[in-house]
Amino acid sequence: MVDATPRSHRDVPPAEVPEVELYHPRSWWTTYVFSQDAKVIAIQYAGTAIAIGLVALVLSWLMRLQLGFPGTFDFITPEAYYQFITMHGMIMVIYLLTAIFLGGFGNYLIPLMVGARDMVFPYVNMLSYWVYLLAVVVLAASFFAPGGPTGAGWTLYPPQAILSGTPGGNDWGIILMLVSLILFIIGFTMGGLNYVITVIQGRTRGMTLMRMPLTVWGIFTATVMALFAFPALFVACVMMLFDRLLGTSFFMPALVEMGELLRYGGGSPILFQHLFWFFGHPEVYIVALPAFGIVSDLISTHARKNIFGYRMMVWAIVIIGALSFVVWAHHMYVSGMHPWFGFFFATTTLIIAVPTAIKVYNWVLTLWRGDIHLTLPMLFALAFIVTFVNGGLTGLFLGNVVVDVPLSDTMFVVAHFHMVMGVAPILVIFGAIYHWYPKITGRMLDERMGQFHFWVTFIGAYAIFFPMHYVGLVGVPRRYPEIGAEAFMTAPVGGLNAFISVAAFVVGFAQMVFLFNLLWSLRHGREAGSNPWRATTLEWQTPTTPPPHGNWGEERPLVYRWAYDYSVPGAPQDFIAQNDPWPDRPARRP
Amino acid sequence: MGETTLNGFGAKPARPSGLRGLAADWASDQRAFKSASWGKAMMWIFLLSDTFVFSCFLLAYMTVRMSTTLAWPDPSSVFALHIGGADIPLILIAIMTFVLISSSGTMAIAVNFAYRRSRGLTVLFLLLTAVLGATFVGMQAFEWTKLISEGVRPWGNPWGAPQFGAAFFMITGFHGTHVTFGVIFLLIVAAKVWRGEYDRGTKGFFTSRPGDYEHVEIMGLYWHFVDLVWVFIFAFFYLW
């Protein structure tokens, strides 16, 4: 138990930093559009991310139409199919998941949870969103550019990414993709610096690092990782842009295309893979760590029990973050690397399972003999644990070189990463939205629509991705618009593919119910009050709900305890808020 | 170094030194870096991130230098200047390096005068730093012009591997852009010091945060970083 003994309020150290005057918006525009308030920026980030995410959802439907019923839809040419998978992957990983976890939840929760009035540099934070929006616009523009968006696959591997055989390869598609990524990284850096410094330097009195909710730890560590991982992608994008526009040969070996020797020569395509995955693997954890953090808080709050092994949870987050920088080449076992590298990277990959397993055990042990309330956030959190264990176990398969080589580039890999970094984090996003929507809007999301949304999404996701593992095991390769004759396979997969597609449409439909719920409950939802979940963390203790600009009214809160004082024996309620000095004086009424 | 506004506030309990102090700082509330303001801490983290950018650029350059099938041009002769009847290898680069390192010296002096609140001398050394920085960029422009006139292009050159020109223009261009932005911000900071905005705490135009002499030091962090990066570029690209 950490810091469970409350300290007298006289023990809270004096303020080290004077209050900084916040920017005072003077008009509707500076209040709601060009706002410097982290909470408004958070909603802008999340709204933009969900909007572009809907595009990716539609793209996945189109892909499933083709895979489930090949040859039925004439407008889905192989080129169009490649464009769908590329844009679906890129949008989901970068523009939806990264943006909503760090830009959305990061902006909303970090200042509130550490007791700050705002991010440390609100103006830079605002710029971050507008550059992100520009990146999204440039990305969306590629749908309307001549030749359409790039179809190089979300990994954009050269040399094919910039050759004429790939959709968008010698058109606008790849250029807009690379420019958009560069813009995204610039925008993210501006926001990310803010999140990191707010956590390190902007906490309120009494808020030590080891009293922070795990949500903040997850987002903070992920942001630090992103600041060190995105530079590799930035450099890769700049160099590929030069290869495409200036005719340099960083990534391009000598090539013959259509019987013609191209002007390229001497570059290293493997270099791109190294740079891409030096970004790409930490990116998995940039998405996963905020999910880990949020799910810890959801479980603890809704099981009315302190998180098991808080310190271990923090260190596991930090260790996973560090280890994820030395495992990147497990994405490259079939690239022709020296086998010794494969040995090294397989070892580090399997080591990362240790801190991850610690986290899973601690979540389960938090649930053990807890007072489990099966609220919507809790349902999503439980679904996350199951899904993450599932995806994590197939990760152990793929982390071993000998198992990976035959499974590489099959649908098994697609099923694995959708489980572990697609479905699992998105379940947490849903849970987090159901959890914090009352704080953001003052109203609860509708329970019945939420139950429908949860069960269809949860069961549907398994209906989609469980059969996909099998499809991959029998040998269906990924990224093929059509597999043609199935004679070489041990079992027919056509029927399974049709089943998966139908499940995907149903799950997609359930998301429309969710979006409707978000809008409907704004006006018709039940009044939530300031702390509907009876949670301990600071964001639930704001003087008004939704929190005003500046968050705290006159005085920033003083923190006396960690974030997990649930069901403390002898306490007047089953939770003690972080800013509650009990037993120094009687706990406040809820 | 002098106190900054954010540090001059409130009571400061005595803190243990050494490793114990480090542990105590990270175990404490409010701030992990007890002597760094928000701006300074943010610049440090940004520079760490930028370090990764330049490291990736340099590692990529080394990789293509190994992967390319043609011979790598000899930097000593490519970057030689014909002065007084003799080819002097790397002479321009040596002068450029000297100029840039000197500018770090003048920057450090400017920071010192800024904390002593001597506006005139601060402005003088900031401008001197900016002039040295601009000189560096100017000599780089001269170097680019000379190489381009000799036929070096991003996609090829007369002496061998095309990656030579590609890496050269990309890395020195990216670094030169950093120096150019540094010069622009040096001029802005110098103007603010000259107008006394850091004495009065005038609010920034965009950020609406009060000005402070610490901004000179934060500017200096960036400038020294750009210098340090150049040392690595010099060692890995020109000397190797």
Give the DSSP per-residue string, B7-45: TSSS-------HHHHHHHHHHSBS-SSTT--HHHHHHHH
Do the Cβ atoms of B56 and A206 come within 8 Å?
A: no
State which residue of chain A sits closest to B170, comparing Cα positions. A239
State which residue of chain A sits closest to B6, comparing Cα positions. A17
Cα angle vertex A23, ends A18, A24, to 5°?
120
Do the Cβ atoms of A16 and B155 come within 8 Å?
A: no
What is the reported pLDDT for A525? 94
Do the Cβ atoms of B45 and A123 come within 8 Å?
A: no
| Long-range Cβ contact pairs of A321-326 (< 8 A, separation 24 or more) | A321/A221, A321/A222, A321/A224, A321/A225, A321/A282, A321/A285, A321/A289, A323/A348, A323/A351, A323/A352, A323/A355, A324/A225, A324/A281, A324/A282, A324/A284, A324/A285, A324/A352, A325/A225, A325/A228, A325/A229, A325/A278, A325/A281, A325/A282
Of all residues in chain A, the percent with pLDDT exceeding 90 is: 85
| DSSP state string for A475-495 | TPBTT-S-----TTSSS--HH
Determine contact: B48 vs chain A, CB below 8 A.
Answer: yes
Do the Cβ atoms of A267 and B64 come within 8 Å?
A: yes
Pick from A23, A208, A235: CB nearest B60:
A235
State which residue of chain B sits closest to A211, comparing Cα positions. B29
CA distance A215 to A377: 14
Pick from B42, B45, B166: CB nearest A250:
B166
All structural domains of chain B, each given as residue ranges with its CATH number in brackets, are 43-71+83-238 (1.20.120.80)
Question: What are φ and ψ of residue B153, in 5° steps?
Answer: -130, 160
Tell me which DSSP letter residue A151 carries.
Answer: -
Determine contact: B10 vs chain A, CB below 8 A.
Answer: yes
State which residue of chain A sits closest to B28, comparing Cα positions. A208
Please say if the pLDDT value at position A589 is more than 60: no
Of A212-216, A485-489, A548-552, the one with minimum mean pLDDT is A485-489
Q: How many CB pairs under 8 A join A and B?
A: 166
Please say if the pLDDT value at position A492 is more than 80: no
Do the Cβ atoms of B60 and A238 come within 8 Å?
A: no
User: Which pair of tokens denotes residue A109?
Assistant: 């929760």
ipTM: 0.93
Q: Is A209 helix (H, G, I), strand (E, B) or coil?
A: helix
Write down the domain spans for chain A. 32-207, 544-590
Pick from A203, A208, A242: CB nearest B170:
A242
State which residue of chain A sits closest to B57, comparing Cα positions. A235
Do the Cβ atoms of A209 and B38 come within 8 Å?
A: no
pTM of the model: 0.95
| DSSP state string for A57-107 | HHHHHHHHHHHHSTTS-TT--HHHHHHHHHHHHHIIIIIIIIIIIIIIIIH
What is the reported pLDDT for A553? 87
CA distance A152 to A166: 6
Mean pLDDT of chain A: 93
Cα angle vertex A167, ends A150, B63, to 5°?
65
pLDDT, tens digit, for every residue of A204-256? 999 999 999 999 999 999 999 999 999 999 999 999 999 999 999 999 999 99
What distance, in Å, lies between the first and last C-alpha atoms of chain B?
38
Determine contact: B13 vs chain A, CB below 8 A.
Answer: yes
CA distance A23 to B227: 35
CA distance A413 to B100: 50
CA distance B20 to A173: 55
User: Which pair of tokens denotes residue A339?
Assistant: 């086998």
Please say if the pLDDT value at position A590 is more than 80: no
pLDDT, tens digit, for every residue of A256-270? 988 899 999 999 999
Do the Cβ atoms of B30 and A17 come within 8 Å?
A: yes
Determine contact: B8 vs chain A, CB below 8 A.
Answer: no
CB A399 within 8 A of CB A347: no
CB A367 within 8 A of CB A303: yes
Of residues A373 and A4, more confidently modeled: A373
Of residues B82 and B140, more confidently modeled: B140
Determine contact: B180 vs chain A, CB below 8 A.
Answer: no
- Across the range B179-206, mean pLDDT stands at 93
Nearest chain A Cα distance for residue B85, angstroms = 35
Q: Is B80 helix (H, G, I), strand (E, B) or coil?
A: coil
Query: Could you tell me the pLDDT band of residue B7, with boundaries at 50, 70 and 90?
Result: very low
Q: Are strands A256-257 and A260-261 parallel, antiparallel or unpaired?
A: antiparallel
For CA atoms B112, B115, B120, B122, the dihedral sign is positive
Do the Cβ atoms of B52 and A232 come within 8 Å?
A: yes
List of chain A residues whose C-beta atoms are within 8 Å of the C-beta of residue B170: 238-239, 242, 248
pLDDT, tens digit, for every residue of B57-109? 999 999 999 999 999 999 888 898 888 888 888 899 999 999 999 999 999 99
Closest CA to B133 of B227, B236, B232: B227
From residue A518, alpha-carbon distances to A127, A231, A308, A376, B102 in Å are 27, 35, 32, 14, 60
Query: Could you tell me the pLDDT band of residue A59, with boundaries at 50, 70 and 90?
Result: very high
- Across the range A110-134, mean pLDDT stands at 96
What is the reported pLDDT for A585? 62
CA distance A100 to A44: 10
State the helix-helix crossing angle for A447-473 and A424-441, rounded to 10 degrees. 160
Closest CA to A60 of A396, A383, A318, A418: A418
Determine contact: B207 vs chain A, CB below 8 A.
Answer: yes
Do the Cβ atoms of B45 and A250 come within 8 Å?
A: no
Nearest chain B Cα distance for residue A364, angstroms = 28
List of chain A residues whose C-beta atoms are within 8 Å of the C-beta of residue B69: 254, 265-266
Closest CA to A462 of A418, A411, A513: A418
List of chain B residues whose C-beta atoms are within 8 Å of the C-beta of residue A249: 64, 68, 155, 162-163, 166
* Entry field: residues in chain A: 590
Nearest chain A Cα distance for residue B95, angstroms = 29
What is the reported pLDDT for A1? 44
Rg (CA), chain B: 22
Determine contact: B33 vs chain A, CB below 8 A.
Answer: yes
| DSSP state string for A557-571 | PP--S-S--BS-TT-
